Structure 1
Amino acid sequence: MEDLKIVIADDDASSRTILRHFIRLFPHYNVVAETASGEELLQLVLQEQPDIVLVDISMPGLDGMEAVKICKQLLPSVQVIFITGYDEFAVEAFEVSATDYIVKPIERTRLFYALEKARKLIDMAKRWATPAKQPSKRLGIRSKNAIVLLPMEDILFVEKESRKTVIHTVNEQYETTETLNEIEKELDDDFFKTHRSYIINLKKVVKITQVGETYLAHFLNSEKVAYISKLKFHEVQRKIFDMNR
């Protein structure tokens, strides 16, 4: 289970001491910083990127409620547990999406319940988070008086053929007058020049066979093959191994 980082903000030193003591008794929670002011809480949230903040509402200067509103803008994922001597702020606390609201004196069991509630919300947010889909990188080539934009993930290999260059996908091939070296500069790190006449998409290779002094790269769902020189064979093996670790 992952340890969660906690920042404590309370102007009462004895309350901070009690909170630290209780949290040490709970596994997988770690107090990374504490403060007695709302202003410093903002700095700590930016600096420490905590998972949870325990905040007293009544503090001199910037009070806990206003500090939390700003914290939520700085770090929307942070879980907020208010620790206060007053219960009249409970409604306002939940209006700023507080995880829980504990009225002093602080009880160990009540604190643990609040922290576990925060953990469940953090875990839930991670499960439901969908990573942003990265836009497909494309290779732009001039082919037959047209500009073709090929998704790089669709390219199996690029081949030099006499005075032209041919880009191969599973079902198509595209001819261009651009040189192999010009195209190599546009390709990403998945591609490697395996032969003076071939650049291969290493992520698409499913098998390598030896034919005499050279090697052939085979690709998924395709009968096309590309050449790997004897000098490049071991480097190709290493690169493919590193990509699949």
Structure 2
Amino acid sequence: MFHVAILEDDPRQAESLARMIEASPCASRVEIVGVAQPAVSLAEAFGDGVDILFVDIQLGEARATGIDLVDALAPRDGSMQVIYVSGYLEYASDVYRTKHTWFLPKPVEQSALDAALERAIDNLEQAQQQPLLVRASGSLIQILPQNIVYVESERRKVRIHERGRVIETYAKMSDMEASLPRQFARCHKSFLVNMSFISELRARDLVLLDGTVLPVSQRCHKALQRCFIDHVGRSV
């Protein structure tokens, strides 16, 4: 599930956008995690957990425009999809100063928002499937993230457990975590798991689809549980 934030200085406009997102056919694949006004919190809109940002361009009395804020604060690696929203069509060319997904003119039409949201999700899903290149045994090996079941570390080495093979390489666990998509989460200081392969999450361990049991530390359990629920997208 992808996280959406809205940066809009007019609370009514922000609430309207939120309702339209919730009414979109893509609603089951996203969760709104922040509706921020510029005077309140930019960190909420540009936080690490935000995948898709709807940002107004004219932000009231704020000196910076939405374009300025995206240029200064948004990550440049494509990990955040920016959708501009504005009633001023003269900004339609200015937005190309920054990397963005869509420009929505106000008043926003549901069909246009649906198309923008679907494009943003498609971009994020494609980015998640970009291969990793690792050095192992004197060779360069290409690995697709969706094929990785889990990663474990031992001192200066990591073992990447794919379906059918294990690749051992010199790397830091923190670097592996940063390189892999959001479907991966820490379950222990020495283990990183692909949540698509979790069959059961228990208090002190988890069971993978093939029956493998991995440890779950007390420190990681709460965050892992939250990430797992978000990843699956629904719970009872």
Runs of 4+ with deviation above 6 angstroms: 185-190
Runs of 5+ consecutive residues of structure 1 not aligned to the other structure: 138-149, 152-184, 191-202, 205-240
The alpha-carbon deviation at position 21 of structure 1 amounts to 0.9
Secondary structure of residue in 1 paired with 2:64: coil
1:38–1:80 distance in 2 versus 1, CA, 3 Å: farther
1:30 alignment partner in structure 2 = 31
2:55 alignment partner in structure 1 = 55
Using the size of structure 1 for normalisation, the TM-score is 0.51
The alpha-carbon deviation at position 24 of structure 1 amounts to 1.5
CA RMSD of aligned residues (A): 3.4
94, 102, 105: which one aligns with 1:103: 105
1:117 alignment partner in structure 2 = 119
Letter in 2 for 1:13: P
1:27–1:89 distance in 2 versus 1, CA, 3 Å: same
User: What is the 5 A alignment of 1:61-210?
Assistant: 61-73=63-75, 76-127=78-129, 129-133=130-134, 135-136=135-136
1:46–1:96 distance in 2 versus 1, CA, 3 Å: closer
The alpha-carbon deviation at position 79 of structure 1 amounts to 0.4
Runs of 5+ consecutive residues of structure 2 not aligned to the other structure: 140-153, 160-165, 168-210, 215-236
Alignment coverage as a number of residue pairs: 146
Percentage identity across aligned positions?
22
1:29–1:38 distance in 2 versus 1, CA, 3 Å: farther
The alpha-carbon deviation at position 38 of structure 1 amounts to 7.6
Greater RCO (CA < 8 Å, at least 6 residues apart): 2
Provide the rounded CA distance (Å) in 2 between the counterparts of 1:62 and 1:108: 28
**What are the superposed Cα offsets for residues 152-191 of structure 1, whole Å, 9 maximum, x if unpaired?**
xxxxxxxxxxxxxxxxxxxxxxxxxxxxxxxxx999698x
Q: Is the 8 A contact 1:37 1:61 kept in 2?
A: no
1:186–1:63 distance in 2 versus 1, CA, 3 Å: closer
Using the size of structure 2 for normalisation, the TM-score is 0.53
Q: Is the 8 A contact 1:5 1:29 kept in 2?
A: yes
Letter in 2 for 1:63: T
1:38–1:28 distance in 2 versus 1, CA, 3 Å: farther
Q: Is the 8 A contact 1:79 1:98 kept in 2?
A: yes
The alpha-carbon deviation at position 44 of structure 1 amounts to 2.1
